[in-house]
Amino acid sequence: MSAFIQLLFKGLEMGSVYALATLGIMLIFRTSVLTNFAQGVIGMFNAFVVSFLLTRLGWSIWLAVPIGLVTAFLTGVVVDLGIIRPARKVNSLSKQIITMGLVIVIVGITPLFFGKLESDGARVFRFLNAGSIVILGTSIDYNIIFNIALVVVILLALFLFMQKTRWGLAVRATASNSQVARMMGIPTRMITMGAWAIAAMLATLSAVLYAPLFGNLNPGFMTSIQIAAFIACVFGGFQTFFGPVLAAYILGISVNMAGYYGSSFFQLFFGDRISDDFGSQWGTQIVYVLIILFILFKPLGLIGKKIVKKV
């Protein structure tokens, strides 16, 4: 039971990291009809900004992270105004290729801006450095509880914003049909720019939370998060905002559980031919294969719905 509780909370923490990246991808996809392959590297770049403030200037994480979120907001605005909007006459596939090119550019310029940052991600990116709470006889780090609670609050705030405010209604209208929304007087360009800015902030916070789990910073450390976020989008269904976020948490918990229990499960069938660390090495791949099999039988995802157009 102790191991299960530990895995559950670590899975919720990892699911929170996935959920932030996933929601950012969905915001851009629904408002710009574009799959953003640069979501991970945008978060990585601004995580380096946070690390620079922490390690080079000695700032507190409570000040460095908000500044990093501001630079992320500006990054999203610059990408939309300077790269995506000028390419508005380009087809959707070409825009996706542009975001792939953006990955190469950001990965290339990050060392030019920051050099080699000697930073211990497990140390400098923790909001709470000490203390734990006992839950059902299991000691859980305060920082894990804080990270989970922080992301849940942010996600609830964003969902309430989209459901209860005029700007949220504008976002949903743009996501439903941007052309009709524009005809109704909704500033779709402003909505799209805001979506890119918020998505960049979500990616940055995802990177900040993931850095202690990864252990250090390098230009490629968000690659696995980007992949997991895309899988969560497909698993949850691209037709809603809620489905992919739910799928992100399921993915985070499942990967942790499979990594721990995978070896024991497969040793029941294959005996000593399966090594003791099989689960930790192949847990993620096992979960991804199961998700692919699920999608074969339910192509629209967990909460995906078929859209029927009537003339």
Which pLDDT does position 279 carry in this prediction?
A: 53
Which pLDDT does position 67 carry in this prediction?
A: 95
Distance of CA 264 to the CA centre of its chain: 30
Instruction: Quote the tokens at residue 225.
Output: 């998060």
Which pLDDT does position 79 carry in this prediction?
A: 92
Burial 36-52 (b: 16+ CB within 10 A, else e): bbbbbbbbbbbbbbbbb
Rounded CA-CA distance 80/303 in Å is: 29
Which pLDDT does position 254 carry in this prediction?
A: 87
| Residue 12 host element (H or E) | helix 2-32
Secondary structure of residue 289 in the 3-state scheme: helix
| Residue 138 host element (H or E) | strand 138-141
Which parts of the chain have pLDDT scores under 50? 311
Does residue 16 contact residue 152 with C-beta atoms inside 8 Å? yes
Q: 90-141 pLDDT, tens per residue?
A: 777 788 888 899 999 999 888 888 877 655 555 678 887 777 788 777 788 8
Which pLDDT does position 149 carry in this prediction?
A: 94
Which pLDDT does position 274 carry in this prediction?
A: 54
Which pLDDT does position 3 carry in this prediction?
A: 78
Which pLDDT does position 311 carry in this prediction?
A: 47
